[in-house]
A and B are shown apart, each in its own frame.
Chain A
Amino acid sequence: MAELQSLLNGFAIALTWYNILLMFIGITLGVLIGVLPGLGGANGIAILLPLTFTMSPTSAIIMLSCIYWGALFGGAITSILFNIPGEPWSVATTFDGYPMAQQGRAGEALTAAFTGSFVGALVAVVMITFLAPMVARFALQFGPPEYFAVYLLAFCSFVGMSKGSPWKTIAAMMLGFALAAVGMDTVTGQLRLTFGSMELMRGFDFLIAVIGLFGIGEILLTMEEGLEFKGKKAKISARVVLDTWKQMPRFWATSIRSCLIGCWMGITPGGATPASFMSYGVARQISKNGKNFGKGEMEGVVAPETAAHAAGTSALLPMLALGIPGSPTAAVLLGGLLIWGLQPGPLLFVEQPDFVWGLIASMYLGNIVGLIVVLTTVPFFAAILRVPFSIIAPVIIVVCAIGAYTVNNAMLDVWLMMLFGVVGYVFKKLDYPMAPMVLALVLGDRAEDSFRQSMLMSQGSVTILWSNWLVGSITAVALALLFWPLWQAIVGRRRRAVAGQA
């Protein structure tokens, strides 16, 4: 049980007054970010990242990951009280959460959502505690071809699991790779894709892309949809909390299912959003009360929230153990590691055990702090949503602009942020997925390095990706996922042809 020993060490590192203060600040900021339109986990952390440059990496990641937990909690508040999902992963929470609020059971719905989230996150953290070190130990024997195969797997699974057009997924992803290649080539020192511009020498910073795509783009969309926040009042008293907790054990089966769905979707780059929908759908089919779903059934709030939190948390597992983030927010945290001078990947567990176990311990503590904060401060955050959008919108744009500037102290970045904002708006409307683009932008250089090294090893032959059973099986799974949409299209067409003849 070396993990338990390490975990206790981690608690010793995380449990200082300073770090606990940072947890409270992080959670509060995170809930705020989750509640406000236009600010979410990914761009919120991207904006606040420059503020942590002077902190120790452990304190910094504790604060930033707490912002993430806070944002996960915060999405539920707007879904239940205002029927407006603050985050994409809380869309499924509106289905039963808002009807409950309309029936005057907002307090119950919120308590159920927060508790479900807490359970989901806790299960995912326990899984990370025991699984991540194993995965990292296993990954220590990876060479460049294995790494490239894992990157290939991560990106192919986006294509395989995409709901929309796989071609759009590929186009958006490759745009990310191309933008990552802009600037100086780290191996040869040659300038690539700068087209003579000196300012582009630095390349595109993915933080700028994240702030623009998710921040400015979201504000433009919100404006187009003409949102008006007319919400229900929220009161959470200790009585309501205790009453709800008494009812919660009934949903143990749903909770376990949701945790499993969430953990699986989080480790594979499915992410929190599909996990919440899938969990809601499964719960509706299996539950005895399935026919009441959509009319204000508490189980319909617990299922998506538990899965979303489990997925959001377990997305950090591949980030910690392999250096491959499972979600855009995890990608931003990975970017933070690079900025703080840490090398993400399996060696992190060996070289920086204090950092890794401090972070894992802070996940336990952060979610407890999060549950306390959200249960006590809901009325305050609900009040913030009643501030008119014409005050919130310019303030968020100011925050985004400052955040974009502070990444590199460059004015060009602020202009690029606006450009990415328009791109994000158009992409969102045309269903071009943004998560693979951001991940490609973050991982582009590393994927290219491992590709180059593999090619050097094999003198330019791609067969190195099948040179042993390990790399061969990863590559095979990756290609299977890549061609999955094509296979489905062929099968679907054949079926339609058969149906047409009959």
Chain B
Amino acid sequence: MVDPNGTGLPPEGSQGHACAPDHDPDRERVGAAPATQPVVTTSTMEIVVAGLFLLFGVGVMYDSYRIGARWAIDGPQSGYFPFYIGALICLSSSVLLVQGVRQRMRVSTRGSFVQRGPLSDVLKVLIPAVGYVLGIQLIGVYVASAVYIALFMVFIGRFRALRSTLVGVGVAAFTFVLFELWFRIPLPKGFLERAAGF
């Protein structure tokens, strides 16, 4: 069967697992690829990271050159030291880039950077954590912490809702007492705390 996107993934929105009528066993199999299948090889990651380093190094050199990387009358200019730092980043990342490309040529040495199953486990932590940081910004740290811990426990830890809520609220309350009342270090607050007069 030909995958129209050529991505090996089900096209977005057309066939979810819940859509029973056009259930396609072959596509189902592709969607649920074995958990040990590598998502990206180590050599690809090496090249990507070395490339990012190289870009960063060029950026550092450019900005240092812009503000002056030479000698003024009174001594070295601001960009003098960072310019050479940028040069060393460019040098080391170029070597790593070449090494990465050469490693990729040799098919036999391709290792897996991360496999499908473990990657989804990592994303299960990373994505909620990013949402949590967004939550801190929008509704303050205490409410966001309680909601985040409770939801994480319910959806990823498969705990009962009551226990999860108790842990979440408990941690948030403890944090509140520790920081706002005891150490008097103000943390970001939202409308709920403001309504309560803090």
Interface residues, chain A, with chain B CB atoms under 8 Å away: 50-51, 54, 165, 167-168, 170-171, 174-175, 177-178, 181, 185, 187-188, 190-193, 195, 216, 219-220, 223-226, 388, 390-391, 393-395, 397-398, 401-402, 405-406, 409, 411, 414-415, 418, 421-422, 425-426, 429-430, 432, 448, 451-452, 455-456, 460
Chain B residues in 8 Å Cβ range of A415: 133
Interface centre among A171, A393, A418 (most CB of B within 10 A): A171
Helix, strand, loop or mixed for chain A's interface?
helix
Q: Is the CB of A171 within 8 A of B125?
A: no
Interface residues of B in 171-198 (CB under 8 A from A): 171, 175, 179, 183, 185-188
Q: Is the CB of B152 within 8 A of A402?
A: no
Q: Does B76 sit at the interface, judged by CB under 8 A?
A: yes
CB distance from B149 to the nearest CB of A (A): 5
Q: Is the CB of B75 within 8 A of A391?
A: no
Instruction: List the 6 shortest-distance A-B pairs measured between CB atoms, nearest first.
Output: A390-B157, A394-B152, A171-B92, A190-B78, A224-B118, A170-B92
Q: Is the CB of A178 within 8 A of B113?
A: no
Q: Does B162 sit at the interface, judged by CB under 8 A?
A: no
Expressed in whole angstroms, the Cα–Cα distance for A51 and B45 within the complex equals 39
Expressed in whole angstroms, the Cα–Cα distance for A137 and B53 within the complex equals 41
Interface residues, chain B, with chain A CB atoms under 8 Å away: 42, 45-46, 49-50, 53, 56-57, 59-60, 63-64, 67, 71, 75-82, 85-86, 88-89, 91-93, 95-96, 99, 113-114, 118-119, 121-122, 124-126, 128-130, 132-133, 136-137, 141, 145, 148-149, 152-153, 156-159, 167, 171, 175, 179, 183, 185-188
Chain A residues in 8 Å Cβ range of B122: 220, 223-224, 425
Given contact pairs A175-B89, A397-B125, A397-B148, a sample of 13 additional A-B residue pairs in the complex whose CB atoms are under 8 Å apart: A174-B89, A175-B56, A181-B60, A187-B78, A195-B63, A388-B157, A391-B157, A391-B167, A398-B132, A398-B148, A401-B141, A402-B187, A452-B76
Expressed in whole angstroms, the Cα–Cα distance for A87 and B177 within the complex equals 30
Chain B residues in 8 Å Cβ range of A418: 129-130, 133
30 A-B pairs whose Cβ atoms sit less than 8 Å apart in the complex: A167-B95, A167-B96, A171-B50, A174-B57, A175-B89, A178-B57, A181-B60, A192-B64, A193-B82, A195-B59, A220-B125, A224-B119, A226-B118, A390-B157, A391-B159, A395-B149, A395-B171, A397-B125, A398-B175, A402-B141, A405-B187, A414-B136, A418-B130, A425-B122, A426-B49, A429-B42, A430-B42, A448-B81, A455-B80, A456-B76
Q: Is the CB of B45 within 8 A of A390?
A: no
Tell whether A397 pairs with B157 under 8 Å between CB atoms, given A171-B96, A224-B121, A455-B75. Answer: no
Expressed in whole angstroms, the Cα–Cα distance for A421 and B53 within the complex equals 17
Minimum CB distance partner of B145 in chain A: A398
Q: Is the CB of B82 within 8 A of A192?
A: yes
Minimum CB distance partner of A224 in chain B: B118
Expressed in whole angstroms, the Cα–Cα distance for A82 and B82 within the complex equals 46
| Contact pick for A394, options B80, B85, B149, CB 8 Å | B149
Chain B residues in 8 Å Cβ range of A171: 50, 53, 89, 92-93, 96
Chain B residues in 8 Å Cβ range of A390: 152-153, 156-159
CB distance from B38 to the nearest CB of A (A): 13
| Contact pick for A174, options B85, B126, B129, CB 8 Å | B85
Chain B residues in 8 Å Cβ range of A54: 183
Q: Is the CB of A460 within 8 A of B141?
A: no
Expressed in whole angstroms, the Cα–Cα distance for A415 and B136 within the complex equals 11
Chain B residues in 8 Å Cβ range of A165: 96, 99
Tell whether A181 pairs with B124 under 8 Å between CB atoms, given A398-B145, A401-B132, A460-B71. Answer: no
Expressed in whole angstroms, the Cα–Cα distance for A50 and B178 within the complex equals 13
Expressed in whole angstroms, the Cα–Cα distance for A174 and B81 within the complex equals 11
CB distance from A131 to the nearest CB of B (A): 32
Chain A residues in 8 Å Cβ range of B119: 224
Minimum CB distance partner of A455 in chain B: B76
Chain B residues in 8 Å Cβ range of A391: 149, 153, 157, 159, 167
Expressed in whole angstroms, the Cα–Cα distance for A398 and B135 within the complex equals 12
Q: Is the CB of A414 within 8 A of B157?
A: no
Expressed in whole angstroms, the Cα–Cα distance for A178 and B86 within the complex equals 7
Expressed in whole angstroms, the Cα–Cα distance for A378 and B86 within the complex equals 48
Interface centre among A195, A216, A394, A430 (most CB of B within 10 A): A394
Chain A residues in 8 Å Cβ range of B141: 401-402, 405
Chain B residues in 8 Å Cβ range of A451: 81
CB distance from B91 to the nearest CB of A (A): 8
Expressed in whole angstroms, the Cα–Cα distance for A451 and B171 within the complex equals 47
Expressed in whole angstroms, the Cα–Cα distance for A452 and B80 within the complex equals 9
| Contact pick for A168, options B96, B124, B171, CB 8 Å | B96
Q: Is the CB of A411 within 8 A of B137?
A: yes
Tell whether A223 pairs with B125 under 8 Å between CB atoms, given A171-B93, A390-B159, A452-B76. Answer: yes
Minimum CB distance partner of A191 in chain B: B67
| Contact pick for B124, options A177, A195, A223, CB 8 Å | A223
Chain A residues in 8 Å Cβ range of B53: 171, 175
Q: Is the CB of A223 within 8 A of B96?
A: no
